[in-house]
Amino acid sequence: MDVQRAKKFAMDWESAWNAHDIDLVLSHYKDDFEMSSPIIAQLVGEASGTLKGKTAVGDYWRLALEKVPNLKFEVLSVLLGANTLTIYYKGAQARLSAEVFEFGACGKVVKAIAHYEV
């Protein structure tokens, strides 16, 4: 992971979300990626807060967009790690959020973990 790739990923991710284009969002992820978020537990009742695979996560994200049809993300900062990056952003109701993305050798996200301001 390098700075240019990290910034491009963050811009593309923000743009896809703000277009509410779940297929485009999912294009950045490996087919069997894992997504963890406390909202998963709230919205779909998965107690672990984790879903696996594009189908399950895509269904969850579509449901989330139904619940918050005016959802917009604003990337505030991108933090670079070793094969990871964190996007710090404003999400629903201007709530501060951070999402950590782990990338596999394939260049796509294999794991994502969302965090929300309390």
Residue range 35-50, pLDDT digits in tens? 999 999 999 999 999 9
91 contacts 116 by C-beta, under 8 angstroms = yes
Q: Scanning the structure block, which residue is given the tokens 């284009």?
A: 21
pLDDT at 105: 95
Task: Region of 112 please: left (phi>0), alpha (psi -120 to 50) or beta.
Answer: beta
| DSSP state for residue 94 in the 8-state scheme | G
Residues 35 and 115 sit within 8 Å (Cβ to Cβ):
no
Task: Reply yes or no on whether the pLDDT at 115 is more than 90.
Answer: yes
Q: Could you tell me which residues come within 8 angstroms of residue 118 by beta carbon, excluding any fewer than 6 positions away?
A: none
Torsion sign across C-alpha atoms 5, 8, 14, 20? negative
Residue 55 DSSP SS3: helix
Q: What is the pLDDT of residue 93?
A: 78
Task: Give residue-wise pLDDT tens across range 41-74.
Answer: 999 999 999 999 999 999 999 999 999 999 999 9
* Secondary structure (DSSP) of 1-24: --HHHHHHHHHHHHHHHHTT-HHH
Give the DSSP H or E segment for 100. strand 96-103
> With bands split at pLDDT 50, 70 and 90, how would you rate the model's confidence at 1?
confident
